[in-house]
Amino acid sequence: MQTSSSTRWTSSPPPEPGPDDHVRGGGPVVIEYADLECPFCARAHRILKQLPITRVFRHFPVTSKHPRARALAHAAEAAAIQGRFWEMHDSLLEDQAHIDDPHLWARARGLELDLERFESDRRSEPVAKRVERDFQSGIRAGVATTPTQFVDGAAHPGLPSDRFLERFR
């Protein structure tokens, strides 16, 4: 297939929330693609958690800028297997200064996770596939930066703008 600079690239909308998505809250649905090491994602998290929305989180680790992003996504998914995704998610975004393995183990202990299972799960193929599935769905939806939020199929890249926030207040 030959393309030229005039080729129009299109993307598909993000997949609708499904039973294995990480979902919390109530209100209008916001699908969020984020990197748990990204400082802008941490700022967006502080804003989004105050809104009356249904928040759907999907991993979009940008390892070229954030070398621990994939490891953090795997840690969050390993915590999810033990029913503590949102607690790990919040912990990682609210304290990005402590993200090396010893800090992940301390977080897992603090969340009363089975540490041996946490370690095994975060290094497992199913967890890696889950993170990759989220990432690929973001690529197909046109995500180019983190964070990116989708509302009614429309992408809102970067920090939530005043215009974005007005629709939820």
- Tens-place pLDDT, residues 91-149: 999 999 999 999 999 999 999 999 999 999 999 999 999 999 999 999 999 999 999 99
Question: Is residue 107 assigned to a domain?
Answer: yes
Question: Is residue 98 assigned to a domain?
Answer: yes
91: exposed, middle or buried (Cβ count in 10 Å: 0-12, 13-18, 19+): buried
Question: Is residue 9 assigned to a domain?
Answer: no
Question: Is residue 105 assigned to a domain?
Answer: yes
Question: Is residue 46 assigned to a domain?
Answer: yes
Question: Is residue 7 assigned to a domain?
Answer: no
Question: Is residue 2 assigned to a domain?
Answer: no
Question: Is residue 5 assigned to a domain?
Answer: no
- Tens-place pLDDT, residues 11-44: 788 999 999 999 999 999 999 999 999 999 999 9
Cis-peptide, bond into residue 126, ω within 30° of zero? no
**Domain interval for residue 145:** 22-166
- Tens-place pLDDT, residues 67-91: 999 999 999 999 999 999 999 999 9
8 has a pLDDT exceeding 60: no
Which CATH number covers residue 45? Answer: 3.40.30.10
Backbone angles phi, psi at 124, to 5 degrees: -85, 155
Rounded to whole angstroms, how far apart are CA atoms 104 and 76?
10
How many structural domains are present in the chain? Answer: 1
